Structure 1
Amino acid sequence: KLRDKDLGCPWDIEQTFQSLSKHLIEEAYEVTDAINRKDYPNLQEELGDVLLQVIFHSQIASELELFNFDEVADTLNQKLIRRHPHVFARGVAPESAEEQAVIWEAVKKEERKEDRPQPTFADIPSSMPATLRAERIQKQASKKGFDWASAHDVILKVEEEIAELKLAISNNDPDNIEEELGDLLFTVINVGRHLNIDANDALARSNNKFISRFHSLEKELEVSEQSFEGTSPQELEKIWDRIKLDE
């Protein structure tokens, strides 16, 4: 009804796959935020918003005679059955989540055999957030046998990348600075992967920590009737360090 050309909503009617894609990403982030805040009433609401996006895309597809919502659900159903043979085909049950992940990947590999072979990394969307895409790239490279032996080795590479970034900065080469900064970030994410730490989660935690400390800094300045403009960088740093110690 929302997309009815005569009685529907003008905004809903004019939406396309392309115009809605950003909203789907935004809604997924809002779900993640609700989970991180343990706000379960809000999680319920945000999951509904994600579901709306799935239904919306399916409706557009149906109008274009591509597929419909029932077919989306059926495709998911068949995929889950294929990738859980130990549940639905009474196969040998995996003993751990890690073993199940191996089975999952094996079934995915079999599924891809039906299609034309793709180059490595082709199944990693270029639109994926850069930190998540880097992790996916690194994991696939590791499965091919191209990886560091330990986190310690990757940390040595981080130190090498820092030196290269410093050199690029000293040469005042903007393009090379950007390239070396990217290499450093990619390598730091690799450290997290070797330590089984999700880089995106780690960065989100640091973001929240910075926000909390900054709010404390603002409060201290307000109580002492100071301002950012009237406080020296050195004094701001002292207050910041004190806030860190009080945590």
Structure 2
Amino acid sequence: MQQRAKAQDLVKWIAMLSMVIDHLRFIFPSMDAFIIIGRFAFPLFCLAMAANIRRLPVNTPVFYHFPYLVRLSVFAVISELPYRLLRPDADTLNILPTLLLGLLICLSLQYQSRAGVLSAISFSCIAILLNPWLMYGALGALLPAVCLAGLIYGRSFVMLAMLLSALCNMSLPTLDMLLRLSDAHFNLQDGLLLVSAAIAPALGTLLLQQKISFNIFPVTTWGYWFYPVHLLTLYFIKLIFII
């Protein structure tokens, strides 16, 4: 039986902690700088997903992945209501549909066959079609696959993951300003946000390569509940502060 990777659990814990810190902004608007710390969360979740797939033997039977896909699909639905309660003005779905598409693309490529490549292209096209409704857009759905390539092939793809992570964290207005080389509204916080998003895949990849000597509480299937439960908890805390 393959030994559990402590470094992978550590990456998940850091991702969850940064996510919670990020979401505190929705309770305390004055803490909007927390978004910089929060930019670590999504790339690290993508990297943890890629690491899970990397540990599987090539051409693992399809049915092996079925429980994983079902859990992610179910919690994508469960999490939407808590997400809407905390963020009633949100114009995208919660993060799990993006991760679900990312998982499907990764699993397709894991088979290293023509059918797998065609399947990955198909899911990528679906991500492009759903781009307006996906958190981090179609680029976000591609990030797990690029992280997987980084774990397999090394530095060049890690750098590509860094670029992709920064791009999918950029709002369209900010991107437009950068392309026009305008700094009218591009302040220090925006710059730190992009730096944080860009370095997350590299730091996470480096962390996965370390041998962790101390014990880390494993993030298993209970981690799926963490997302909707923490959203609901923050929503109720927000209600208390409003009252």
Pair member with larger Rg: 1
TM score, norm. by length of structure 2: 0.26
- Higher RCO, Cα 8 Å, sep 6+: 2
